[in-house]
Chain A
Amino acid sequence: MIEGSVWKFGRDIDTDVIIAGRYCNIPDPKELAKHVFEDLDPTFASRFVPGDVIVADSNFGCGSSREVAPLCLKAAGVAAVAAPSFARIFYRNSINIGLPIFEIPDIAKFFEQGQKVRIDPATGLVTNLSTSQSFTAAPFPEFMEKIMAAGGLVNYASERLGGSKA
């Protein structure tokens, strides 16, 4: 069960503001996490509490394909992102690396900054604990469920290859 405070964002949050291009030669997600959302709010990284949740409006993660965007959110301790829609590459990347994302129509209208949220990843049930309203995320297609069940795309590929390397 995921439970934490809400960090609210608007629509069309691009991967450049999640992690600026100038940091994209740093491969260590923990180092990148120090600069997450720096260009929108330079204090974000120091204020964000691991386990908290991002609720955003439509088209979250648009722009660059940089996988370091979901990687640094995960490294910063973002427990989940809920939005009405995600840009497609960000969506794939999140599934592939195991950042929990939840697609729920109009979700941004029902959350304010700092409210408490509970998410059951198994059922996709998202509850605003401050208002007691509940929402259900769109189920993932069966194929994506398989990737997630395998623990990400790398494990899925390992299974396909029947490999034994640790």
Chain B
Amino acid sequence: MGMTMTEKILAAHAGLSEVRPGQIINAKVDLVLANELSAIVAIEEFGKIRGADKVFDPGKIVIVPDHFTPNKDIQSAKVAKAVREFARKHETLYYEVGRMGIEHVLLPEQGLVRPGMLVIGGDSHTCTYGGVGAFATGVGSTDVAVAWALGEVWLKVPPTIRIEFRGKKQPWVSGKDMILYAIGKLGVDGGIYSALEFTGEAISELTVAERLTMANMAIEAGAKNGIFAVDAKTEEYVKNATDKPYTVYASDPDAQYAQTIVFDMAEIEPQVAFPHLPSNTKPISQVGEVEIDQVVIGSCTNGRIEDLRVAASLLKGKKIHPKVRCIVIPGTQKVYMQAMKEGLLETFVEADCVVSTPTCGPCVGGHMGIMAENERCVSTTNRNFIGRMGHVTSEIYLASPAVAAATALAGKVMDPGEIK
């Protein structure tokens, strides 16, 4: 009986010829990620593991201080300092402010995550790397600490739900709209404990950046991981990033799926997720009048150069609405530099947007765009939970970079197709 690509990657890392959904395995990890907030708790737990004086392999541990950096206050600075000292002591991979980026934009860009790898991370959006055909999933800090010590993680093999997108994208529809649409249909626990395998004609036509965006939000349907078949686009992307080797796993034709869900691209418009759940989606044509105070373009979901290009294409030569604050956050230093070379940063600043250094910042309610009571933000981030970006009465509307840029111009949630 065949296996899905998720099952094949898990089997290979558990030293087994096959695995089945529900089976609990001990798997070797190829990379263990932590940000400063998960690392600080993991360091404490690592210290409690008797016999763990050293990490299992410093080259397979990566720490990226990205959440509250550049340090937003003294407490954040203390956390960053302790994490930096641990990284130096154990000689792990470490990306300091000025060399770094938002972890899930940075790792694929640096070629640290590649097809066929098994990656865990102390951040729920670690599932992003399924966009390049890796098995990647978020865990807590204790799991990170134990993986630092043992190089292993226990995992329950998930059942795979196959999600097929038939047909071609409509104008202004992006990977972000496709994943928001899927979460709207599945619900925030529709993929609970499962692997989501994205397939279909529309998926083949997506850029790797859009696949990373979609895999990033698999967690928003409760899934363990999201994954995409490796194709020529993936291989080109990975080879541009690194000359390190990788292994391609493909789902067998007779692989067992828990469920197959088919979406018709003709039904999918640009999407907006209303407060306070990512599943609370509406097509742009049914949004109505929603006035906006702030727009955020960035994050591990949509902070890639492709995202900034789309936003800039709408903003070029224009000014954003006088009452809107628009915050653009390139995902990494490399994205920042590329945006500068292409003139995108100039476009943003001329349009009256602010351009930030790479940081998770407002997405996690840290800094760089926190909202007061009753303020509303259209954001290209991944979560619109109560209080996520500031005051408990503030509201987040999740959307694509195109919808976000159109909204910044209009001062209300706007279909990019309406911008002349």
Contact = CB atoms under 8 A, between A and B. Distances in A.
Interface residues of B, number: 53
Contact of B143 (A39, A85, A96, A141): A96
Given A27-B44, A165-B53, A93 B154 contact: no
A17 B222 contact: no
B41 A154 contact: no
B288 interface: no
Contacts of A67: 38, 41, 122, 140-142
A157 B139 contact: no
A157 B156 contact: no
Contacts of B126: 65
Interface residues of A, number: 48
B88 interface: no
Contact of A62 (B146, B188, B387, B392): B188
Nearest to B75: A25
A18 B92 CA distance: 31
B387 A16 contact: yes
Contacts, number: 148
A39 B37 contact: no
Interface in A55-103: 58-59, 62-68, 70-71, 85, 87-89, 92-93, 96-97
B341 interface: no
B189 interface: yes
B51 interface: yes
Most buried by B among A20, A24, A97, A156: A24
B142 A152 contact: yes
Interface of B: 24, 36-38, 40-41, 44-45, 48-53, 67-68, 73, 75-76, 79, 122-124, 126, 138-143, 145-146, 149-150, 154, 156, 188-189, 192-193, 219, 222, 224, 277, 364-366, 383, 385-388, 392
Interface of A: 12, 14, 16-17, 20-22, 24-27, 39-40, 58-59, 62-68, 70-71, 85, 87-89, 92-93, 96-97, 141, 143, 147, 152-154, 156-158, 160-166
11 contacts: A17-B386, A22-B365, A25-B40, A26-B75, A40-B386, A65-B126, A67-B140, A93-B140, A157-B52, A161-B150, A166-B50
